[in-house]
Amino acid sequence: MKLTTWIIPAIMLLGLSACGIADEKPEVGKETEETTPVSQEPVVEEMNEDEVVEEEVTIKEPESLYELNEANWTLQPIGAANPKAVLLTIDDAPEKYAVEMAKTLKELNAPAIFFVNGHFIDTDEEKVNLKAIYDMGFSIGNHTQTHANLKESSEEQQKEEIIKVNETVEAVIGEKPKFFRAPFGVNTDFSRSLVLQEGMLLMNWTYGYDWEKQYRTAESLTDIMVNTEYLTNGANLLMHDREWTAEALRGIVEGLRAKGYDLIDPKTIKGIQ
């Protein structure tokens, strides 16, 4: 009887202890090894984003195919570039006909440099014209603010003539001119130094005729530009924003190509990349 009385409490105590262990539950919110979520980071998407960004910042610079010969202002081929090629340039832009000339050249897929004067880009309308020429893919050059003879100007005046154009052009198209041509082809030691500091390539020309009275018709100008004895490999052709030049432009381009000449893209000239 005494043994039975001792066994029963012991059995009951054991049962209560087992129930306590079985009913024990994890604390709410406490992560266990089984409940910890597996990371689902979009690894593939991040890699694709990196690849896209890398492609956006990779810009291929135009290859240098020609370099300027300062002895005669012609363009010399680099490596395997075609030597039978010429450069087209338009001065005094954008006065009246430059946008029309740019459209003609664009239609003909004929690259050129438009050298601008500051007094032709000082109104909103003229700035729109400059931007239109640039947006058609043409290179912009600096031809001074007022078309002044630099040898007759003080250093301060020369600086104003050159820097003001650069500032205006940059404000309109987002970059400074890459080329400089002095009015009348007249440079000074100071202007040369300043042009170099500004990162521009200074150039004059090989030949041009459209300011002479006998060539102020489309027919006469086309003929002399294509058939002159000065047409040589790498020739640097000077033209202006003039009515008769605008009318002659298509014939000049087609005539040069008929003679086997390519037209040099200014963006491939060494020193401006």
With 0-12 / 13-18 / 19 or more C-beta atoms within 10 angstroms meaning exposed / middle / buried, residue 130 is buried
Percent of the chain with pLDDT over 70: 77
CA distance 166 to 159: 11
More confident residue, 168 or 35: 168
pLDDT greater than 80 at residue 273: no
Tell me the pLDDT of the chain averaged across its residues: 85
Section 44-53 average pLDDT: 50
Strand partners of residue 116: 93, 142
221 has a pLDDT exceeding 60: yes
pTM: 0.79
The H-assigned helical ranges of the chain are 2-22, 43-57, 98-107, 124-135, 155-173, 189-197, 218-227, 243-258
Peptide bond into 62 cis (omega under 30): no
pLDDT for 43 beyond 60: no
Report the alpha-carbon distance of residue 252 to residue 262 in Å, rounded: 12
What would the 3-class secondary structure string for 45-69 be? HHHHHHHHHHHHHCCCCCCCCEEEE
Residues ≥6 apart with Cβ < 8 Å to 177: 116, 140, 141, 142, 165, 166, 169, 200
Task: Please give the Cα distance from 168 to 176 (Å, whole number).
Answer: 8
pLDDT band per the 50, 70, 90 thresholds, residue 33: very low
Q: What is the pLDDT of residues 94-151, one digit of tens each?
A: 999 999 999 999 999 999 999 999 999 999 999 999 999 999 999 999 999 999 999 9
- Do residues 112 and 88 touch, judged by C-beta distance below 8 A? yes
